[in-house]
Structure 1
């Protein structure tokens, strides 16, 4: 029988317990939605103020040199590289995940087309976050060169779909809905065995699970910084391209920030060497600067310890739900095996949306995804084991007393 006292004992020996003090969280709130938007590092307020009141207000245009605005996407990229198994000079923080997927997918298709005109299949997951599918669909349509999107579900279907007609495979390292974690190294090797290139979407894994892009011999990766890296709402995303691919061709969004000599104001585009060529237009400096606050906090922790706590907390959450809510029709769709589990737990319930709204009203913030999926994100840097206990007790009470079944909790806004 799991108890509150047991959870407190886990907190007492937690090596990451002190990290919570570096985040600004509302009182009386258990935040289980860091897999959608991470909490604010306390340092972000001062950093934003410095950018606005000193760098912009006082230093003005000189900040491009004086305050390193020009190199900010690459300097922060070098910090993010440390949590994804990348080398210095391989990561840029820029644009959005969707835009960066467009860039690397175009690059992958260009590389493949130069080697073979027969590779016209792009594979993606049926349950990928929809923006990935939309980008692939849009690119295939506009290229009008016979590319076809083939959807798969899980490793067995992927293996069956791989052949010499596959150009690229786009996979979410952790599935946004179920929390399934693809084994990166083995999956990459299987794709390469058939001559395909792989693009990893790290949105729901970066900062939460161990990632070794170079160790896995991956080809490209993209991902957001505003979830487990706590970069701020809508913060610029990351793009990783290793040395083996980065200079093979120019990406299609050939803006001036990716030019080899941008201040020569040449009429013709010449791509910069290295990851800088994956930059396009002028960068959003204020939001970009705040990304650094999140990654700086993250780098104070040890990634194996973060992963160990994540697994322990998701284990606890699952066990408590089974102990406290066994008489309710909850279906866990997140894998139990550590090797294939990300850092959130997803439960299905016919009235999942209303239940989540009832939890939010109590200060227990999870989120909802169609169809019928309640997601509970585990962010080890600012959650405690006691938080998990109390969250499940609130869930139990809401289910036992059907307090979710009121009109206010069924009412939907534009964002669900």
Structure 2
């Protein structure tokens, strides 16, 4: 295979149909950012939007802003916009709370729909907060419910008629391995089980087709590929066929049929709004709206094509430039089987990543030994991949990672 050069990668950028989208983001000079799978880049429009909201809407309208500026409708408005990205109808998605709380809500609803079953099935690649929420819910219910965790490749074989809910993350946060959502959802349906999919590492990075796959419930976060900012509100999806039959256990006033009647008894709203709980965080929702603006006019099929191309390029360049430094590919080499990231195992992965960050290449680390490189096609360039691998080679060749400073663990890795 002919070796690639940096000039080849620059040529790829010149042919990139999504290249102009990079201008929608405020990327720092001198930084190669490959961590959008953990926190998306700041959209250029966010600062002005928040300043206007603070100075004009909040500052001048005060409490009347809830009606005058439509703050009260933001959870549904933003949910309808996310629906396009995840293959849902506009009245099946709402933005609210955190991913963890939304997992608790939809898992509770799913279990209630299968009262004769006690097993929640998940896999060892699922994000820990999802597993924790399932464990806590099972303990709270006190009716012999239990979480069963199997290896990712064993999920399909384990789906039988004793499973109440199958709860999975579509793209593994560590390796980037991708589950077959359609196949697993179909098998669960045939067994009478309900499905809950976490889209934290897929929404905004690739086309998602919840209704096409027959998914029952889903959750996702707003701060990764959706570029909503640190701790941005999450979203949840409930298939229309379940909206009238479900109820979640967190009875908050924004989920009440008439919140401003201030009744002492709870009556849930109809539709997706019954999954709301407390007062919407308007500033955070506005920032998420700017993140969703970056997808205006964007074809998610093109996003996926570029995502796969960036990942393939990373794998090829690491093989070409860094063949003898103990890096082990931890992601599927076949693009169809992975999300929008490539991970490498290295015995000193944390220190190597800190050395890369010191050189302006920002990825992240997941224990015990994985370096993650995420690709957000809206702003990552092909030449960024070349430059990142060149710096990786430098760090490994010169053993810069042996600097003791790079082994001191920070609170966030």
Q: Same fold (TM over 0.5)?
A: yes
Query: For 1:57, what is the secondary structure of its paired residue?
Result: helix
Corresponding position of 2:9: 7
1:94 deviates by: 0.5
Aligned residue for 2:194?
197
Instruction: Look up the SS of the partner of 2:90 in the other structure.
Output: coil
Mind listing any 5+ residue stretches in structure 1 that lack a counterpart?
none
Partners of 2:199 and 2:151 in 1: CA distance: 18
Q: Which digits, 9 at most, give the CA deviation of each residue in 1:338-357, with x for residues without a partner? A: 22110000000000000000
How do residues 263-302 of structure 1 correspond to structure 2 at under 5 angstroms? 263-302=260-299
Aligned twin of 1:55: 57
Task: State whether residues 90 and 275 of structure 1, in contact with CA within 8 Å, keep that contact through their aligned partners in structure 2.
Answer: yes
Contact 1:235–1:287 at 8 Å: present in 2 too? Answer: yes
Q: Which residue of 1 aligns with 2:122?
A: 124
Matches within 5 A, 1:171-250: 171-250=168-247
**Aligned residue in 2 for 1:85:** 87
Match in the other structure for 2:104: 102
Secondary structure in 2 aligned to 1:342? Answer: coil
- Given candidates 128, 137, 144, the residue that maps to 1:139 is 137
Kept after mapping to 2: 8 A contact 1:183/1:339: no
Distance of 1:74 and 1:162 partners within structure 2: 34
**1:397 and 2:394 matched:** yes
Write the deviation string for residues 180-220 of structure 1: whole angstroms up to 9, x where unpaired: 11111111001111111010000001000110000001000
Assess if the C-alpha contact under 8 Å between 2:124 and 2:152 holds in 1: no
Q: Structure 2: give runs of 5+ residues left out of the alignment.
A: none
**Whole-Å Cα distance in 1 between the matches of residues 373 and 25 of structure 2?**
19
For residues 68 and 5 of structure 1, the distance between their equivalents in structure 2, rounded to whole angstroms, comes to 49
Q: 1:154 aligns with which of 152, 155, 168?
A: 152
Query: Is the counterpart of residue 329 in structure 1 residue 331 in structure 2?
Result: no
Helix, strand or coil at the partner of 1:99: helix
Kept in 1, the 8 Å contact 2:311–2:335? The answer is: no
Cα pair 2:351 2:406 within 8 Å, conserved: yes
Measure how far apart 1:160 and its partner are: 2.5
- The TM-score with structure 1 as length reference comes to 0.98
| TM-score normalised according to structure 2 size | 0.98
**2: distance between equivalents of 1:218 and 1:248?**
16
Shift of 1:154: 2.0
Work out which of the residue numbers 293, 296, 303 in structure 2 matches 1:306: 303
Q: Give the drift of 1:330.
A: 0.8
2:269 partner SS: coil
Which secondary structure does the structure 2 equivalent of 1:326 belong to? Answer: coil
